[in-house]
Amino acid sequence: MRYRVRINEQIHIVEAAPVDSSGQSVVTVGENARNVTVRIISPNQLHMVIDGAPVNLFVAPDVDGAWVWVNGRARLAQDADQVARRSSRGPGMGPSEVTPPTPASVVKVLVSEGDRIEKGQPAVVVSAMKMEITLNAPYSGVVKAVNTVVGAQVSPGQILVEIERDQEDLSNE
């Protein structure tokens, strides 16, 4: 079977032959062929021997992938062919919408419909786990709609303030 596994925006292409009755398989990761023996230890644990080197892995399926733990490092692995590409999480990318980075409750709404808003200007303040997070305008424009109120419970992906983006701002990119 051929898989395209996405971990932290990186795609790992893995070709795996069917696992035989003794748990052995041959896989190709990128260019390299490897001999793998795999055993299921428990619903959350795999033991693999990769080219003679043993490794314990812990796995927990999640809604859009699975968490895989190797040597103290936990990764959310996803089937790149099945899961729609999610927004990048790196610094410098900046969010493209006014949406909370984590489930939170709204502390302050700083703009109203029809307001002019500049890129980087605070639009909403939310609070999660005792921390205040200010959500800034991702671009300049006019506030088209405010979809939240103080005290509301909000989640990532929920657009709290819709902004009609300036034409010149658009053409600059």
Pick between residue 12 and residue 86 the one whose CB is nearest to another protein: 12
d(CA 108, CA 96): 20
25 phi and psi angles, rounded to 5 deg: -155, 160
- Please say whether the beta carbons of 132 and 156 come within 8 A: no
Q: Give the shortest CB-123-to-another protein separation in angstroms.
A: 15
Pick between residue 6 and residue 143 the one whose CB is nearest to another protein: 6
- Please say whether the beta carbons of 142 and 117 come within 8 A: yes
Pick between residue 48 and residue 142 the one whose CB is nearest to another protein: 48
Q: What are the residues binding another protein (CB under 8 A)?
A: 1, 3, 5, 7-8, 10, 12, 14, 16, 18-19, 23, 25, 27, 29-30, 36, 38, 40, 43-44, 46, 48, 50, 55, 57-75, 77, 79, 82, 89, 91, 101-105, 107, 127-133, 153
Candidates 119, 121, 117, 111; CA nearest to 150 is 111
